[in-house]
Structure 1
Amino acid sequence: MTPVATASNPAAPEVKPLGCTNLKLRQLTRRVTQHYDQHLALAGLRITQYSLLAHVDKLGPLAPGELARRMDMGASTLTRNLRPLVAAGWVEMGEGADARSRLIRITDTGREVRRLAQRQWKAAQLALNQKLGPATVVALHTLLDQGLAAFHAEPAEEH
C-alpha cells in the first residue's frame, strides 16, 4: 500500500480504496469461518458455538444481555445461536437475581465439550497463522482492532 499524503509527508501520493470494503470483509470472514468450522467439526462444533461456549465458560454465569454486549452481537443473534447449545445440554438458562432475569451457565458437559474443542481451535489457529504468515496475522489483527475502535468511538445509530 502506498503511503497517504499527510502534513508530515506531503509528497506521498493519495491512496484511494478500490472495491467494496464490506464485500471484501465478508469474503474473508466466510473463508476464515469455513477454516475454523472444518477443524471444529472434529469436536462436533461450529466456530460460533465454540465462541459462545468459551465466553460463557470464562464469564458466566451471566445475563443474556451482558453476554451479547461482551461478544458485540445483537440479542436476537445470541438467542438464535444459544438454542442448539441449550438443546445439547452444554449451557442452561436459569433464573437470575429475580423472577424477570435469566442467567446463562455452562454445564459440566459443556465445559468438557469446550475443553475437547479447544484443541481443534488451537490447531485451526496455528494452521491459519501458517497459511497467512505471522506478520500478516499481526497486521490483520491491528487493522481489525483499529476498525473496531473507530466504530466503538462513535455513538450507536438508532434504527
Structure 2
Amino acid sequence: MNFTHEDLKQIGLSCLNLSLRRTSRLITSYYDLQLKPTGLRITQFTVLASIAYENDPSISDLARLTDIDRTTLQRSLEILSRDGLIAITKKEIGNVKGISLTKKGEQKLTKAIEFWKEIQKTIMEDLGKSEFKQTLKILSELRDLPTLQIGLENV
C-alpha cells in the first residue's frame, strides 16, 4: 500500500471536486424540494428558463446554454414535451429542431420563477449577500480556468 490514512483524510478534507459534488447534491435537493409545488425539478426549471431566454433554440444551442449533455437534455425535453410545457418543431434548415414554450409552459415557468426567487433570497440571507455574490464569482472563475477548458476538449 503506497498511500497513508493521512493521504485519504486529506482527499476528504481538501478535494475540490468532492466538495463541489457534495455541495451540488445538497443544493439541487434543496431547490427540488422547494420547487416541488410547481411540479418541476430544478433541471427542468433551468431548461424552461433557458428556452424562454434564448427564444426558439435548437437542441444544440440549448445544450451549450445549459451545459447539460445532449443525452440528459433529450430526456428532459421528452418529459417537458410529454407534459405539454414545450413544443419541439423541425426547422426548415437541415435536421435542426427548434424548441419553444407552450402557453402551459409559460404559465408553469411564471409560477416557478416566483418560487425560485424565494429560494435565492433564502440562500442569500442564510449565506450573506456578499458571500453569495463572492461564491457565484468564484464558481464563474473556476469554470473559466484554461486548465478546465482543456479538460472539456478531451471528454
Instruction: Specify the TM-score bucket, using the shorter chain as the normaliser.
Output: 0.7 to 0.9
| Greater helix fraction, Structure 1 or Structure 2 | 2
Q: How does 1:101-112 map to 2 (within 5 A)?
A: 101-112=96-107
**1:113-154: CA deviation from partner (whole Å, max 9, x where unpaired):** 000111101111111111211122112111101101115873
Q: TM-score scaled to structure 1, two decimals?
A: 0.83
Q: C-alpha separation between the residues in 2 aligned to 1:58 and 1:132?
A: 28
Q: What amino acid maps onto 1:20 in structure 2?
A: C
**Identical amino acids, percent of aligned pairs:** 28
Q: C-alpha separation between the residues in 1 aligned to 2:28 and 2:148?
A: 27
Q: What amino acid maps onto 1:33 in structure 2?
A: T
RMSD across aligned positions (CA): 2.0
Q: What amino acid maps onto 1:97 in structure 2?
A: E
Unaligned runs of 5+ in 1: 1-15
Q: C-alpha separation between the residues in 1 aligned to 2:146 and 2:22?
A: 20
Q: TM-score scaled to structure 2, two decimals?
A: 0.85
Q: How does 1:37-56 map to 2 (within 5 A)?
A: 37-56=32-51
Deviation at 1:99, TM superposition (A): 5.5
Deviation at 1:31, TM superposition (A): 1.1
Aligned counterpart, 1:9? none
Report the count of equivalent residues: 144
Moved more, 95-104 or 65-74: 95-104
Aligned counterpart, 1:77? 72
State whether structure 2 residue 45 is matched by structure 1 residue 57: no
Q: What amino acid maps onto 2:154 in structure 1?
A: E
Deviation at 1:79, TM superposition (A): 0.6
Deviation at 1:87, TM superposition (A): 0.7
Q: Flag the 1:31–1:64 CA change in 2: closer, same or farther, 3 A.
A: same
Q: Which runs of 4+ in 1 moved over 6 A?
A: none
Q: Which has the larger radius of gyration?
A: 1
